[in-house]
Structure 1
Amino acid sequence: MKKMFASLLALSLMLVGCGGGSDEKKDDTPVIALVTDQGTISDKSFNQSAWEAVEQYAKEKGLGNKYYKPATFDTAGYTAQIENAVDNGAKVIVCPGFKFSETIANVQEKYKDVKFILIDATPADAKGNAVDPKDNVYCALYKEQQPGYLAGYAAVKEGYTKLGFMGGIALPAVINYGYGYLQGANDAAKELGINVEVKYAYTGTFNESPDIKSKAAGWYNTGTEVIFSCGGQICNSVFAAAEESNKMSIGVDSDQKDASKTVLTSAMKGVKKTVYDEIAAAFDNTFKGGVHTLDATGNYVGLSEDFTRFKKFTKSDYDKVFETVKSDKVKIVTNADVDKNAQGDPNTKVLKDTFTNIKVTYDK
């Protein structure tokens, strides 16, 4: 009888244990939200990187999450979806892109209990005037000149001597990528004792277009070997031109190697790492609002970890140059170092004084 009672007790405890596990349900309230910028969550850029971080953290912690796509990609459209997200229970909202600046300036005080993670931007009013972020807003900026430098350096060390830079809108972030790219190319050329030619342009848009593809094709057909595509969806146009010309390209912001077989490497910002880290901070009460500039010291910028498309430039070579950037042994020129009337121009005096082994043709 005692043995039977013990067996029944053990069985009942096992059943209670199993029952308790099945009753524990994930809270589906979407407490973590992403409001997308123009594009999709599979855009191989900010939207995708940010969403991957949201999904990863939510899955690890058993939290509900959701993304919201605005009807219009402007302040009204972003605001409407932020309001929608808050109404649905969002406690953390990720806003990936500079176009959210005015929206965050408008809503940060209205939703004081919500943590906002703003990527690549700071709050601003409708006229573009800076607005101080409140304690509930984390603004992530990056030193784009660092991954830009690494991309230019790697391209020249790989053996390319005819480079191209095709940026989107001439905003500080894009300009810094470009200036870093030029300096990295120059320093590698100087080490090798060679001269390098670079064609340089801004498209005036972050959208793909036949005109951009045509310009890129023209560069490739007149000798350019690799183009750094720096700006949203213009990569689709550059990659298409590279594929048709059997030439190479360089991606930006995220690892874009899967977008085209022509992508040699990508100059990356650690958006996924940033978003994940700050979501975690929001839930463990270590979240600190304000403007934060992220760089190589925290491994928030760099090149893709995939070096399989290089034939000469190795991971060891990369590690060495990365350390020089990380330790600030190399001073990289930025947009802030150039006269405000010439920002974006790759042939201003300060740049010419810096670049000794490259010739830049500015294709306005």
Structure 2
Amino acid sequence: MELDTQLMSPAAGGGRRTQLWKRFKKQKVLHVFVGLGMIFLLIFSYTPMFGILMAFKDYSISNGIEGIFTSEWVGLRYFDEFIHDYQFATIVRNTLVLSFLKVIFAFPAPILLAIMLNEVKNMAFKRFVQTISYLPHFISWVVVVGVSYAFLSADVGMVNRALIEAGFIDKPLNILTSPNYFWGLAVGSAIWKEMGWWTIIFLAAITGINPSLYEAAEIDGAGRVARIRYITLPGMKGTIVVVLVLTIGSILGGGLVGSNFEQAYLFGNSINNPTSEIVQTYAFKVGLSDGRFSYAAAIDLIQSVISVVLIFSSNFIAKRVSGSSLF
């Protein structure tokens, strides 16, 4: 009873506040970084959310920022218009197919590369491969597309020249303009650009695995494949689940393995439009080119709501199936 009285006394409360203040002063640099990050999110992520109102209003750019709040309410008019748009089925199909192809092919790529690099014993070669694999991450998509034109162009592309000279094809392939090649081009370029960067994350997860587990397995006669299956992959499970949940949550935008918008906008043209036109590029065109900001806001809001549902659903399923989750 005496101890409870001491804990409930003002002096005890003051002691806790003093400890919190000391801890805050000790970690003040960390708090500054967190504070700057929160300010950045507040300005560039939360403040623009007021623009959601445009999706329900007949907004005109001539009304300025005030028009977001003063324009006439039109309810769900623009949502209904988008759903009944003649291009709706095509652009939704393109968005979903491109996004799921990235999850199927681009998401496992860095996991496989991380496992292979972990098995490499030559440290110099390992560092060399890591370096050349993650450098493309820092290259702009504009540059990537420019390089792709140099390699894949039907007129002057080195790939077509090599294939013709080797006798594999008789005439150049229109890889950059044919609708049949766009999805493969987008997925392949995304893997090349982002695989090395995400390999760093998965290598860090492998590094956290206790080395004694590998030693014990080797003594017991476990081969390389068995060690990967029963030690490496289970040790990476938590990281894989977190990255997968984040990828699925942002799947409509391309996930964490390349921006669908940048690829579709830069690789897209009037010829491959049947497979390259996606939700983001369509919203961009009707919003900025046609000046229909309310319609574009409605399209983006639909995409955002679906993304929120996906991230919560994937997190719930991951928690039930594997016991690991993002939150």
Identify the TM-score tier after normalising by the shorter chain.
under 0.3
Q: Scaled by the length of structure 1, what TM-score is found?
A: 0.21
Task: Specify which structure has the higher proportion of strand.
Answer: 1
Task: Specify which structure has the higher proportion of helix.
Answer: 2
Q: Scaled by the length of structure 2, what TM-score is found?
A: 0.23
Q: Which protein shows a greater Rg?
A: 2
Q: Whose relative contact order is higher, 1 or 2, with alpha carbons under 8 Å and at least 6 apart?
A: 2
